[in-house]
DNA sequence: TATTCAAATGTCGCAAATGTCATTTAAATT
DNA sequence: AATTTAAATGACATTTGCGACATTTGAATA
């Protein structure tokens, strides 16, 4: 469990240590106290939530820490999933497969991959729900989501509105897949790409 | 009796080993000494009490292992899930709801509840698969699984064979639900009850 | 624009808590 | 038994919490 001291947070936020303590006291930043005199500690997760909530730019150190380049492939059609896996592994990515919602959710939370490819139409699973859920779950909300589906444009655009980062309409070529993935994994974790 | 070394505790709490020793010396954390040079050990139970007393968040590794008494309710029928939740909350358990496989998997891995109630027949999700998957995933393999279903006995028995801890056949009473849950959460997390 | 005022943040000093380092020794591993 | 790993310890360095007070900020108002 990675934690931060008030001093570290003070540096990251370029603010006085006293102020950090006050944030914690007020509950604006979630923390806990050690025994002893009650020195404060903040869980990495809680600190990240705090930064996001107040749109504070990420310290470099946290960016790399938070980015994992493994890829979770979510598709109930085993053949499709394997085909995607083959291409991505060939390009050097480490991959995880999930053929149902349960495994998808487990792997996502356990491994916290940097990107997931998501089949919008899986039995018993609403792809849009999944996207929204991921975007609202602090620890994985930055996961890149590449929607892969044979549905029509409006359906795919809706996925973007829900929070997906990009989509690939079936059928697609290997190179289209790869360039979509590379684009997403190279792009910044946060906000503005435009310059 | 599971015990921890000062080093392990230091890692869990993200604190220096020296500090852990001082906590023990001061009596803030209960421990005992081995013969030899007097290396410290802390009983799991005492460590958990310590974490609770000081509101220190549980390290991931301990979440399931030791006393996480929260309950994950997996059922696609919202009304059923809510009814179960009501009963369990009433008895003092903290609960989590999941109406589809994705959320179930996410919550399981994120919160590592001590017990999950599982509807065997959810759309797009094979309950037996879920049970096997949980049993094979080291970090959550000790999670108690209470199968809840309207299927017949053979189907329920099959769930037990797959690794479920118990089942409740619908319809069931509130008290049946409660006693099943209590039985499971009071029983040892690991192996042998016999003795 | 200037003024006012409350809330937020910064400063300072001290005592206490925590971290670091080098060394010694027990415990685990082979 | 030899080797490797991990823990305890003392001495010392650094960081933190806190109270009291100063300063800055930002919005409302004159």
Chain A residues with CB-CB distance to B102 below 8 A: 101-102, 104-105, 125, 129-130, 133
Q: What is the CATH number of the domain that holds B113?
A: 3.40.50.2300
> What value, to the nearest 5°, has the Cα angle with vertex B112 and ends B11 and B51?
45
Asked whether strand C has any atom less than 7 Å from the CB of B16, the reply is yes
* Neighbour order of strands in the sheet with B71-74: B95-98, B71-74, B115-119, B144-149, B166-169
Q: Which nucleotides of D are covered by protein (CB under 7 A)?
A: 6-11, 15-20
Which of A15, A41, A63 delimits the end of a domain? A63
Contacts of A14 (CB under 8 A, 6+ apart): none
At what angle are helices A17-26 and A6-13 packed, to 10 degrees?
110
Which of B63, B82, B110 delimits the end of a domain? B63
Q: Which of residues 133-192 of A touch strand C (CB under 7 A)?
A: none
Asked whether strand C has any atom less than 7 Å from the CB of A27, the reply is no
Give residue B167's pLDDT. Answer: 97
- Which residues of chain B are under the pLDDT cut of 50? 189-195
Partnered with residue A4 across adjacent β-strands are A42
Whether A74 and A167 map to the same domain: the answer is yes
State the pLDDT confidence band at A192, using cuts at 50, 70 and 90.
very low
- Residue A162 domain-assigned? yes
A17 CA to D24 C1' in angstroms comes to: 17
Whether B136 and B180 map to the same domain: the answer is yes
Whether B48 and B78 map to the same domain: the answer is no
- Asked if A1 lies within 8 A of B59 by C-beta distance, the reply is yes
Mean pLDDT computed over every residue of chain B? 91
- Nearest nt to the CA of B20 via C1' is C18
Cα A35 to Cα A5, B43, B69: the distances in Å are 14, 18, 24
- Nearest nt to the CA of B13 via C1' is C18
Q: Please give, rounded to a whole number of angstroms, the shortest distance from the CA of B51 to a CA of chain A.
A: 9
Backbone angles phi, psi at A169, to 5 degrees: -90, 130
Are A76 and A122 in contact by the 8 Å Cβ rule? The answer is yes
Q: What is the CATH number of the domain that holds A18?
A: 1.10.1660.10
Number of domains, chain A: 2
Instruction: Please name the residue that has the structure tokens 């003070």.
Output: A10
Residue A187 has pLDDT above 90, yes or no: no
Contacts of B88 (CB under 8 A, 6+ apart): B71, B73, B95, B177, B178, B181
Nearest to B60 among A1, A36, A102 (CB): A1
Nearest to A106 among B76, B124, B137 (CB): B137
pTM: 0.84
Which of B23, B42, B63 delimits the end of a domain? B63
Higher pLDDT, A54 or A66: A54
Whether A115 and A177 map to the same domain: the answer is yes
Whether A58 and A74 map to the same domain: the answer is no
Share of chain A above pLDDT 70, in %: 93
DSSP per position, B109-147: HHH--SEEEEESEETTEEHHHHHHHHHHSGGGTT-EEEE
- Residue A193 domain-assigned? no
* Chain B residue with Cα closest to A126: B100
- Asked if A137 lies within 8 A of B103 by C-beta distance, the reply is no
Whether A105 and A175 map to the same domain: the answer is yes
- Residue B195 domain-assigned? no
Whether B78 and B102 map to the same domain: the answer is yes
- Residue A7 domain-assigned? yes
Asked whether strand D has any atom less than 7 Å from the CB of B15, the reply is no
Whether B86 and B30 map to the same domain: the answer is no
Partnered with residue A49 across adjacent β-strands are none
Nearest to B105 among A36, A41, A101 (CB): A101
| Cα gap A88→A94, rounded to integer Å | 8
| Cα gap A93→A134, rounded to integer Å | 22
Give residue B186's pLDDT. Answer: 78
Give residue B189's pLDDT. Answer: 43
Q: Please give, rounded to a whole number of angstroms, the shortest distance from the CA of B28 to a CA of chain A.
A: 7
Nearest to B108 among A43, A106, A125 (CB): A106
In 3D space, the residue among A42, A36, A43 whose CA is nearest the CA of residue B53 turns out to be A36
When mean pLDDT is compared across A7-16, A53-62, A64-73, A78-87, the lowest value belongs to A64-73
State the pLDDT confidence band at A193, using cuts at 50, 70 and 90.
very low
Question: B70 is written with which tokens?
Answer: 């929260």
- Residue A154 domain-assigned? yes
Taking residue B112's Cβ as centre, other Cβ atoms within 10 Å add up to 22
Asked whether strand C has any atom less than 7 Å from the CB of B37, the reply is yes
Instruction: Please name the residue that has the structure tokens 């017990």.
Output: B115
State the pLDDT confidence band at A65, using cuts at 50, 70 and 90.
low
In 3D space, the residue among A15, A4, A9 whose CA is nearest the CA of residue A44 turns out to be A4
Taking residue A123's Cβ as centre, other Cβ atoms within 10 Å add up to 11
Residue closest to C8, CA→C1'? Answer: A19
A18 CA to D28 C1' in angstroms comes to: 28
Phi-psi region of B181 (alpha: psi -120 to 50; beta: other; left: phi over 0): alpha
Backbone angles phi, psi at B34, to 5 degrees: -80, 160
Whether A77 and A24 map to the same domain: the answer is no
Contacts of B190 (CB under 8 A, 6+ apart): B142
Whether A53 and A110 map to the same domain: the answer is no
Range of the domain at A10: 3-63
């Amino acid at each position: 469990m990675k934690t931060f001291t008030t001093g570290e947070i003070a540096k990251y936020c370029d603010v006085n240590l006293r102020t950090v303590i006050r944030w914690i006291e007020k509950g604006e930043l979630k923390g806990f106290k050690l025994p002893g005199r009650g020195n404060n500690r903040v869980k990495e997760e809680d600190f990240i939530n705090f930064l996001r909530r107040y749109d504070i730019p990420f310290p470099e150190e946290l960016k790399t820490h938070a980015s994992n380049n493994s890829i979770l492939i979510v598709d109930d059609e085993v053949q499709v999933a394997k085909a995607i896996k083959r291409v991505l592994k060939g390009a050097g990515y480490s991959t995880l497969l999930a053929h149902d919602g349960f495994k998808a959710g487990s792997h996502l939370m356990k491994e916290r991959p940097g990107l997931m490819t998501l089949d919008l139409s899986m039995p018993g699973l609403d792809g849009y729900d999944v996207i929204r859920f991921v975007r609202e779950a602090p620890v994985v909300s930055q996961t890149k989501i590449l929607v892969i589906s044979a549905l029509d444009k409006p359906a795919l655009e809706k996925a973007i509105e829900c929070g997906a980062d990009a989509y690939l309409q079936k059928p697609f070529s290997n190179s289209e897949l790869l360039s979509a993935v590379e684009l997403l994994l190279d792009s910044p974790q946060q906000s503005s790409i435009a310059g």
